Amino acid sequence: MKFAQYYLDCLSHASYLIGDETTGRAVVADPRRDVDEYLRDAAEAGLTIELVLETHFHADFLSGHLELAAATGAEIGYSSVAATEFDVRSFADGERYSLGEVELEIRHTPGHTPESMSIVVWEHTGDAEPYGVLTGDTLFIGDVGRPDLLASIGFTRDELADQLYDSLHGKLLTLPDSTRVFPAHGAGSACGKNLSTETSSTMGEQRANNYALLAPNRKTFIDLVAEGQPPAPEYFVFDAILNRKERALLDESAVPNALELADFDALVADGAVIVDGRDPEEFAQGHLAGSINVGLKGRYAEFAGSVVETDADIVLVVGDGFETEAKNRLARIGFDRVLGYLVHPLIVMAEHPERVRRASRLTVPQFEDRRRDLPDLQIVDIRNPGEFAIGSIPGAEPIPVGQLPGRLVELDPDAPTVVYCAGGYRSSVAASLLRQRGFSDVSDVLGGYGAWVELRQSA
């Protein structure tokens, strides 16, 4: 058996290639949208991808089932509960799919979503115990899938949590302790609240250590998994719906349009959003007025999707050579309306200093001076609720960065404002958004809450 996990750190997303080397037949599960890596690895192993399996309609990324099907002629497979605009092979609960010696068993495991399924992998037909199970977003390492993401499209949190309990106890916990567990996400994903940095485990380890599986009864389980979930980025519902639809395919080799300044300005005048992918430190030294800073070295797509509208046109400012990467990473969450990139942005800024703005980034001592000197200082904690609950700076208003665009009315755009996160990446995103929306005096804190705590402890 050929079994490969592909882990994408910037989205905390895992996908899988499973092949039978005796027959050359293979399946890919939960693929990302830029699919060349699967195609290359399958070809090198002498495998033909004949099926693309989706464990559910993903909300945190736009899946690559259509791209893989177009590239290989493979069928697309979903649970028989799923309804799509494109042709699929529907898998019943308990159905098996043979690749030769390698066999896959489908188990319907609703709860995170109604159509969720898990894929039990048998290395050889007739083995006493399975090799592993792909659990999608039903079971994570250290956590389970959150049941509240579909509340806005007709499913209640408690209804799905109830189904999740049954799926875990009736379908997954029946597997032997030795069964390897391969989820679709790891730490950092907003699809759960306690995901481990480990990308695989065993059923025995999860049975013994996963807080949700240790709940003594159904009610306790529902209360536990419903409490303290991080805010979902705004694009989640957009992706959950788009993953059901027929849509345009991504050409990951295509370079976005190169824009001279006049063309760039015309697009911005028509409403395009400037997304500057440089590091926060470089952005702070100088950027074009009106830019939103989402650094490519961080969780670029996730935070762009948190602060940019799903129907917005986008123009890019990135370092030379990073234009296609930026376009493809936005495409991973379905943000396809990238109209182009500004050619040689550093030269443009050098030649047009009147267009350039600097961003105020405060050290913790500078921030403390502002707190003391400005009684009307507006402090915004843009971390998630779980982070805020552990500790915060006195007087801070908690507004997670993913909720900031919809909660700007709660803030005074004329008041001096300081935003902070855990370390400084998210706060640069949030501060640049506030400036873009007309806030007149905005700073963020270098090192964030961690640096503030460290200074207080050393005092």
Residues designated catalytic: 421
According to DSSP, residue 182 is labeled E
Please tell me the distance from the alpha carbon of residue 79 to that of residue 159, in angstroms, as a whole number: 19
Residue closest to 115 by CA, chosen among 84, 139, 143: 84
Backbone angles phi, psi at 421, to 5 degrees: -130, -150
Under a CB-based contact definition with an 8 Å cutoff, are residues 186 and 199 in contact? yes
User: How many Cα atoms are found within 13 Å in the side-chain-facing hemisphere of 13?
Assistant: 24
Residue closest to 427 by CA, chosen among 390, 389, 393, 376: 393
Look up residue 80 and give its two tokens. Answer: 């028989």
- What are the C-alpha distances in Å from 189 to residues 76, 146, 257, 434? 25, 11, 31, 25
Look up residue 226 and give its two tokens. Answer: 């419903």
User: How many Cα atoms are found within 13 Å in the side-chain-facing hemisphere of 175?
Assistant: 29
Please tell me the distance from the alpha carbon of residue 449 to that of residue 431, in angstroms, as a whole number: 15
Q: What is the 3-state secondary structure (H, E, C) of 42-108?
A: HHHCCCEEEEEECCCCCCCCCCCHHHHHHHHCCEEEEECCCCCCCCCEEECCCCEEECCCCEEEEEE
Under a CB-based contact definition with an 8 Å cutoff, are residues 232 and 190 in contact? yes
For residue 42, what are the contacts with CB-CB under 8 A and spacing of at least 6?
17, 19, 26, 28, 48, 49
Backbone angles phi, psi at 147, to 5 degrees: -100, 10
Please tell me the distance from the alpha carbon of residue 281 to that of residue 290, in angstroms, as a whole number: 17
- What are the C-alpha distances in Å from 432 to residues 176, 281, 348, 355, 441? 50, 13, 20, 15, 11
